[in-house]
Structure 1
Amino acid sequence: ALILMDVVMPNLNGFQATRTISKDPETAHIPIVLVTTKDQETDKVWGLRQGAKAYVTKPIKEEELIGVLKKLLPA
């Protein structure tokens, strides 16, 4: 399992959702990849601090996403 999550969402943003999922013992094992148009370095650092395993900016480069998925998913 793996979660691809946008950062900009109504009500609960992706940073908040990532923090919640990564801190819950029942879901902490699921890697989260934030996929977003927010391309500032501070956003990336913040997303990783919230528990994301990777941060990919839109428009998504296919090779980059495949590399991230290969790194995070078991063979």
Structure 2
Amino acid sequence: YFAFFSWFRVEQFREILDKRSKKYTGMPLYHFSQRWMQSKNYLWFVRIQSLVAFAICAGLILMGIIGPLFSVAASPK
């Protein structure tokens, strides 16, 4: 699911970049650099989102492994 989600995001981003490069060819460099910075921020947002999702998945897996171990260790023999 998440791989598809990130792929969809990348495709969306590529489309936006294509539109922008066509739209801003006649614009001054200042405006273009501003837009580029905004797109960079968007990239960082996607990266942070993927990091958060990865952390949640890792946490769930770790809980799945460690939880039973702790319950076995805590239960009296």
> Structure 2-normalised TM-score?
0.30
The structure with the larger Rg is 2
Q: TM-score, normalised by structure 1?
A: 0.30
Higher relative helix content: 2
More strand by share: 1
